[in-house]
Structure 1
């Protein structure tokens, strides 16, 4: 087992903070989510406060000691900010460098010049799919959203028409295609063949991303017609700049984290020896934090220097880049706190125990279990690891292709209906300037389409191969 899968499974076996039965836990989850939605929509309370209060309410309804609920919430908030938060901060700095140097202008102007209005959604889904292959979803959002917002603004496109294809590309990679960490963990747990899973994953991902991206975005744009939020759009660089960075140098700077993380994933697959010096080296340089930090440092020379930036302007640029994301960091962190409260209350384990008695085909069972855990905990990773651990014994009698399909069924289920307990939900909401209802009608529906379409394709393939 990979180190990540061992850690995740170990976390799932921690003693719950409450002894509540299944019925009480189920009611507590529903009431906790209801409190969050009500506070945000009815009382217009900030999402950070709503998530905090909702987490405490969930613990109270589940009969957990308040001190343990607070510990779970703060632990989840801290771990989320420590992981995702640093990446968001580095991505924000890189985004500010791209904006102020004119590099982002160069990319947007080139895309607008080369792509026709009809092909733009397809262009965005292709870019997102390539960039999102080795990345955690949050990292991909940080890298892509500034480009999405500027393309929508300057090309006068509907934000949803451009944004949904980009999000679909990222999300499909997240759930279905190795070397993304989620599928890799499931492959390891189930004992599936990596090459076969990759081939079938790409085969399923292509029609899935087309349906959930460019095609669904037509309807999403009608349901939610909002402009790109000005507060999140990097401003056009001053015309007084000495010159703008070249398109190639700018693109290389953006893609550097992708290349480093993809290289790490490939080395992990080829070498497969945690003690090997080469693998240990790539484990460091391919770490998301180091990869993004390297991109920021390289950007000083490829973006800021050509634009005539001196040392004295760098500090101010970093400060201005971090300011707009303070609220996002708190919201995403609180979402992580709510998720951890759910997990520590034993909700995921409850679902696993209930599902043991379901008499249905293995692939459908794997999809349903992943769906249930995803809905309860908000974590695609937790859903993937938990479901893979439960159905792994079923793979013993499966063919190589069906074992791979089992992995993909789990991945598809892990993406189902992202809502208020998912950090990704709040990232999309804040970056796109949406309210909760609008986020559900676009992002949540898109995630559900991906999950259902991919799950159906898995079942269809199981009948013919």
Structure 2
């Protein structure tokens, strides 16, 4: 980079690069990974880095992020697909709703979305549960608007906050936050967001009754389902192991070395592997061909996610090489913003281009060099920073968000209803989540 490059010029390059990414992904429908790569060359060359330097920096950034997150994303995706295939998600949903009772059906579908959403992406989870959602709405005589938005917000609350979902996982890798603690605290922060989404759905959707399209179920759809315990264990056991790892700190002395070794199974990679192994007990028998097909699907789906995350890491490395963070910290009073800056930045990016994943990855890349001036350059600060970006990535979900259309398509809701109920819910969820993170920062900082 040329030594006389001014801050204003670098800032213009950064803003132009972000605008280019947003334009490519929204208007021209360029896949996010390619848009991020193009953004890397645009910003890097614009900041007077040589072409060779840009490529080298991109390779390092891409490799580092995949190194830290590759297995987590692959294993998390595999766990979700296997739970889906074995019918475990349906069993968990039916159990939760049965225990809560018909009068609490709306809360039941929110909690179902929350639990099922821990290992499964929100769009996949919604598609899987949409049939159950319609059946319950008809049986309980509840508006499909209320049920659909309650399910959608339950799934969405953890999708934006909790690894192994790609946005929060990538942000943790870029920022350097502890994945285990992020999973646990992120899940806790997501609970109030789910509750707010549920309450708003009930309030805004009560006067919008819509016809319900009955879901046709194949004759054998409910056969050979796993037991309730078998269905829940692949989720509960990994979370319990990660919790043990995150909250129990031991010194590696000869007296407790065996216990320290035992706690190593709380590493997210090991815990997810154990979760995957437990899914094999959810079916009486497995055919080699079907298992191979499922694992292949998992690898392909994870591969697409990893490419986006890797490209985000490359973009972050380019931004770090331009030293724009140093210039920005010297020119703006960021020290007074703290957690507000990552939250507002991610919120603006999400609203502009629609993808929570792209928004949080781009925001993390920009925020990384600013951590010291924001007062977040420590283990706790990094954790809070990723949580704040997760809250920002919830809002505002509207017509440029693919999940928005998944909900509309599988629930039969028109755009006006979606904007009035679901879009407003996403705003309330984001604000609530950030409020929880801000309150949390006063106790653990």
TM-score in terms of structure 1 length = 0.62
1:93 is matched with 78
Deviation at 1:77, TM superposition (A): 2.4
Q: Distance in 2 between matches of 1:218 and 1:93?
A: 34
Q: Pairwise mapping of residues 97-116 of structure 1 onto structure 2 (< 5 A)?
A: 97-114=82-99, 116=104
Change (3 A) 1:243 1:408: closer
Q: CA deviation at 1:161?
A: 3.7
Alignment partner for residue 392 of structure 2, among 389, 395, 417? 417
Matched, 1:244 2:201: no
1:303 to 270, 282, 286: 282
Deviates more, 1:24-33 or 1:140-149: 140-149
Compared with structure 1, are the counterparts of its residues 38 and 160 closer, same or farther at alpha carbon in structure 2 (3 Å cutoff)?
A: farther
Contact 1:17/1:344 (CA < 8 Å) preserved in 2?
no
Distance 2:372 2:434 in 1: 18
Structure 1 CA distance for aligned equivalents of residues 371 and 330 of structure 2 = 11
Residue in 2 aligned with 1:449?
A: 431
Q: Deviations over 1:285-334 (max 9, x none)?
A: 1111111112112322x223x2x224564333322333344433322332
User: Contact between 2:113 and 2:154, CA under 8 Å: does it hold in 1?
Assistant: yes
Partner of 2:23: 38
Give the Cα separation in 1 of the matches to 2:177 and 2:302.
33
Shift of 1:246: 0.6
Please tell me the root mean square deviation across aligned C-alpha atoms, in Å: 5.0
Which stretch shifts more, 154-163 or 341-350?
Answer: 154-163
Contact 2:106 2:150 in 1 (8 A): no
C-alpha offsets along residues 172-192 of structure 1, whole Å, 9 cap, x if unaligned? 678xxxxxx89xx999xxxxx
- Is the 8 Å Cα contact of residues 47 and 331 (structure 1) preserved in structure 2? yes
Shift of 1:34: 1.0
- Quote the residue 1:69 is aligned against: 54
Residue number among 112, 115, 118 corresponding to 2:106 in the alignment: 118
Deviates more, 1:154-163 or 1:408-417: 408-417
1:447 Cα deviation from its structure 2 partner = 7.0
Provide the rounded CA distance (Å) in 1 between the counterparts of 2:299 and 2:15. 35
Pick the aligned partner of 1:155 from 133, 136, 148. 133
Of 339, 344, 350, 1:367 maps to: 339
Residues 303 and 412 of structure 1: CA distance in aligned 2, closer, same or farther (over 3 Å): closer
Looking at structure 1, the residues matched to 39 and 203 of structure 2 have their Cα atoms a distance apart, in angstroms, of 32
CA gap of 1:120–1:17, structure 2 versus 1, over 3 A, is farther
> How many residues are treated as equivalent by the alignment?
377
Q: 1:53 offset after TM fit, Å?
A: 0.8
Alignment deviations for residues 381-410 of structure 1 (CA, whole Å, 9 cap, x no partner): 9858954675389x9xxxxxxxx9x99975
- 347 and 161 in structure 1: CA distance in 2 versus 1, 3 angstrom threshold: farther
Which blocks of at least 5 consecutive residues in structure 2 are unaligned? Answer: 135-143, 164-171, 207-216, 350-359, 396-400, 409-417
What does residue 352 of structure 2 align with? none
Say which of 170, 195, 198 aligns to 1:214: 198
| 8 Å contact kept, 2:25–2:31 | yes
Output the CA distance in 1 between the equivalents of 2:311 and 2:383.
30
Q: How does 1:173-212 map to 2 (within 5 A)?
A: 210-211=195-196
The answer for the alignment partner of 2:375 in structure 1 is 391
> What TM-score do the two structures reach when normalised by structure 2?
0.65
Offset from partner CA, 1:102-131 (integer Å, 9 cap, x none):
323322333454454421454247648xx9
Whether contact under 8 Å (2:20, 2:39) holds in the other structure is yes
Rounded to whole Å, the distance in 1 between the matches of 2:47 and 2:428 is 31
2:106 partner SS: coil
Instruction: Indicate which of 334, 338, 341 corresponds to 2:315.
Output: 338
Structure 1 residue aligned with 2:248: 267
Distance 2:253 2:319 in 1: 32
**Any idea what SS the aligned residue of 1:119 has?**
helix
Alpha-carbon distance between aligned partners in 2 of 1:48 and 1:357, rounded to the nearest angstrom: 29
Shift of 1:30: 0.9
Residue 318 in 1 paired to residue 302 in 2? Answer: no
Structure 2 CA distance, aligned partners of 1:384 and 1:217? 36
Say whether the 8 Å CA contact 2:190–2:433 is kept in structure 1: no
